[in-house]
Chain A
């Protein structure tokens, strides 16, 4: 069946550092891929998405590229801020939506 694997957290970075959160998937067919963010005390919000191979999703300085050859959808940001501290979920949709376990990010000032 379909599955999503994210790097384990927590990830702790200093402000303005480069961020990468790895996400790989297994799926039949051609799923859509997503990153969701959960800020403390809030529900999930869609951060970005890509619906086909080589698509790049981007939002709020975050980017992720749908890599079919490596079955990956790694989340990157060039310069993180304290306000980016949250839990990030990778997800895929191939009929039903499956979420990864989430990666907690702490950004220190």
Chain B
């Protein structure tokens, strides 16, 4: 029944490692997003994918790479993790042109040691 799901829920890793966070939506939406929420609760959009094409990239370091194998999935891969990458990462989805109604996943808390 879960509309937008993310795995894992918690991720603890060492600096320099490479990790991925998976996101899946079963709403039939064609636009998906990744947001980063830092310790001060700032929520910043990182990527937006529409029909498997990147349409927004908010000057995110190229260590972050979104990968969308199909319309229902948008995974986030992070290379060479840094301490400052520690945050909660949220996936979301919407219909194209309806970015005002986004459905969010539960978040993945990433801790880099």
What residues make up the interface of A, taking CB atoms closer than 8 Å to B? 32, 34, 41-46, 49, 51, 87, 89, 93, 96-97, 99, 101-102, 104
Contact = CB atoms under 8 A, between A and B. Distances in A.
Contacts of B44: 99
> Looking at chain B, what size class is its interface with the partner chain?
10 to 19
Interface in B92-113: 92, 99-102, 104-107
Contacts, number: 45
Nearest to A96: B56
B56 A102 contact: no
5 contacts: A43-B90, A44-B92, A89-B43, A97-B100, A102-B42
Q: Could you tell me the dominant secondary structure of chain A's interface residues?
A: strand
A46 B94 CA distance: 12
Contacts of B105: 43
Task: Count chain A CB atoms within 10 A of each CB in B41, B45, B92 and give the residue with the most.
Answer: B41
Nearest to A102: B41
B43 A93 contact: no
